[in-house]
Structure 1
Amino acid sequence: MKRVSTAFLKAAVIVIGIPVLAACIFVVPAFGNFAAYFFPEFSAMKIVVMLYMYVTVLPFYFALYKAYQLLNYIDQGRAFSELSVQALQVIKRCAVIISALYVLFLPMVYLLAEYDDAPGLILIGLFIVFAALVIAVFAAVLQKLLQEAIDIKSENDLTV
């Protein structure tokens, strides 16, 4: 049962990465063109927007990689190890970085939404920030619980 659930979660991690890759290929260049259209006086706007959005994808994929590693640790019976705690810490940091980068990007999204009268852009940006913060808090809670479980386990090993 354990292998089936981790295999399902590994597949979910891969499936989560595919739409983001598709968005990087198709949506990000369109968004860059959109920004360049509304800010013609700033010639590098397209490059700035695209570069900024691609930079935010790097911690996302690194966190997905660490989640996949964490699932491998669970399969190998090393769920209660320092490696798992470190993987959760990296996931937490990546989520905080993503959230911070999008918070810094929201003023530009606001300007684009004002020009095009599209408040949905702001909601999408806020959703990304909120989702990343929820993941960061969840990873922090799991990290703390896992560290406490490891401490209890090592304490019990010493008493026996």
Structure 2
Amino acid sequence: MKKTSIRFLQSGVVLLAIVTLIILIRFPMLEGRAENLDLLHIYMDPLILYGYLASIAFFVALYKAIKLLGYIGQNRLFSLTSLRTLKSIKHCAIIVSIAIALAAIYVRIFHHKDDDPAGFLAMCIVSSFASISVAVAINVLERILQNAIDMKSENEMTI
């Protein structure tokens, strides 16, 4: 791939991270139950803190994606470091999907009787499905990359 394409994709990942961070910071202040709370109590809500904790895996996956794009730019895609990076992205996607599912279960069990958690649960289902889809796609890429690395090492041994 051209260096400009790699830089463009890396910029897109960084932009996604910035937008996600802005949403994570701004959304709790706009939430319905936070309108009468001060700033400290808004961000000390257990579910908000859990969301921040769970988002660490998402940001780690974005960082690893930037590293993987760097390896591609250096023509080091067929290496063990690229394979390890793909594996860590897959693990992060699995962690994110589990964290979202746990949040959905928590809200479903402990929601206030006057609240309707249907919207939140629908968002959890969609985002869990998206995260699992990313993990499955990366698993397929990981197997393909592993086969390519094995073939490359076999060819190097015979030469």
Are 2:136 and 1:125 aligned?
A: no
* Aligned positions of 1:128-143 closer than 5 A: 128-143=127-142
Unaligned runs of 5+ in 1: 38-42
Between the aligned partners of 1:114 and 1:129, the Cα distance in structure 2 is 25
* Deviation of 1:97 (Å): 0.4
Q: State the Cα deviation string for residues 86-114 of structure 1 (Å, max 9, x = none).
A: 00000000000010011111023335486
- Structure 2 partner of 1:148: 147
- Residue 115, structure 1, aligned to residue 143, structure 2: no
Task: Kindly state the Cα deviation for residue 29 of structure 1 after the two structures are TM-superposed.
Answer: 4.8
Find the residue that maps to 1:115 and give its secondary structure.
coil
Count of matched residue pairs: 154
- For residue 97 of structure 1, what is the amino acid of its counterpart? I
Q: Which amino acid aligns with 2:13?
A: V
CA distance in 1, matches of 2:117, 2:48: 19
Counterpart contact for 1:29–1:50, Cα < 8 Å: no
**3-state SS of 1:146 partner:** helix
Shift in Å at residue 30 of structure 1?
4.5
The Cα of 1:128 is off from its aligned counterpart by 1.2
> Structure 2: 5+ residue runs without aligned partners?
none
What is the rounded CA distance, in whole Å, between the counterparts of 1:86 and 1:115 in structure 2? 47
Once superposed, what is the RMSD of the aligned Cα atoms?
A: 2.6
Distance 1:63 1:88 in 2: 9
Change (3 A) 1:75 1:50: same
TM (norm. structure 1) is 0.85
Q: Is the 8 A contact 1:2 1:75 kept in 2?
A: yes
Give the alignment's TM-score, normalised by structure 2: 0.85
- Work out the CA distance in 2 between the residues paired with 1:147 and 1:29: 45
**Residue 40 of structure 1 corresponds to which residue in structure 2?**
none
Q: Which residue number in structure 2 is paired with residue 81 of structure 1?
A: 79
Go from structure 1 to structure 2 and tell me whether the alpha carbon gap of 1:152 and 1:114 turns closer, same or farther (over 3 Å shift).
Answer: farther
Contact 2:17 2:59 in 1 (8 A): yes
